[in-house]
Amino acid sequence: MQPEGPSSLLIRGGDIVTADETYTADILCEGETIAAIGEDLPAPDGAEVIDATGKYVFPGFVDPHVHIHLPFMGTHAKDDYASGSRAALAGGTTTLIEMVCPARDDEPLDALELWMGKAAGVSACDYSFHMGVTRFDAGVEAQLREIVADEGITSFKVFLAYKGAFGISDAELYGTLKLAAELGVTVTAHCENAELIAGLQAELLAAGKTGPEWHEPSRPAAVEAEGCHHLMSFAEFTGASVYVVHTSNRPAVENILAARERGVDAKIEVVVPHLLLDKSYAERPGFEGAKYVMSPPLRDRGQGEFLWRALADGSIDTVATDHAPFDFEAQKRRLGEGDFTKIPNGIPGVEDRVNLLYTHGVAAGRIDLNTFVRAASTEAAKTFGLYPKKGAIAAGADADLVVYDPDYRGTISAVTQQMNVDYSAYEGWEICGRPALVTVRGEVAARDGVFVGTPGRGRLLRRRPVA
How much is the pLDDT for 466? 79
Other beta carbons within 10 angstroms of residue 365's beta carbon come to 8
How much is the pLDDT for 72? 84
**pLDDT for 430-461, tens place per residue?**
999 999 999 999 999 999 999 999 999 999 99
How much is the pLDDT for 5? 59
SS3 309: helix
Query: What angle separates helix 138-151 from helix 108-119, to the nearest 10 degrees?
Result: 40
Selection from 128, 109, 115 nearest residue 64 by Cα = 128
Phi, psi of 246 (to 5 degrees): 35, 55
- As a whole number of angstroms, the distance between CA 26 and CA 28 comes to 7
- As a whole number of angstroms, the distance between CA 445 and CA 134 comes to 36
8 Å CB contact between 265 and 231: no
Long-range own/partner contacts, residues 139-147 (CB < 8 A, 24 or more apart)? 139/107, 140/107, 140/108, 141/175, 141/179, 143/107, 143/108, 143/109, 144/108, 144/179, 145/179, 145/183, 146/109, 147/108, 147/109, 147/112
Calculate the CA dihedral of residues 434, 440, 442, 443 and round it to 10 degrees. Answer: -80
Query: Where in the chain are the domains?
Result: 8-58+391-407+430-451, 60-383
Selection from 452, 396, 316 nearest residue 28 by Cα = 396
Q: Which CATH class is domain 60-383?
A: alpha beta
The CATH number given to 8-58+391-407+430-451 is 2.30.40.10
CA 43 to chain centre: 36
- As a whole number of angstroms, the distance between CA 50 and CA 362 comes to 24
How much is the pLDDT for 245? 98
Q: What is the pLDDT along the chain (467 residues), one digit of tens a residue?
A: 344 557 899 999 999 999 999 999 999 999 999 999 999 999 999 999 999 999 999 999 999 999 999 998 889 999 999 999 999 999 999 999 999 999 999 999 999 999 999 999 999 999 999 999 999 999 999 999 999 999 999 999 999 988 777 889 999 999 999 999 999 999 999 999 999 999 999 999 999 999 999 999 999 999 999 999 999 999 999 999 999 999 999 999 999 999 999 999 999 999 999 999 999 999 999 999 999 999 999 999 999 999 999 999 999 999 999 999 999 999 999 999 999 999 999 999 999 999 999 999 999 999 999 999 999 999 999 999 999 999 999 999 999 999 999 999 999 999 999 999 999 999 999 999 999 999 999 999 999 999 999 999 999 999 988 76
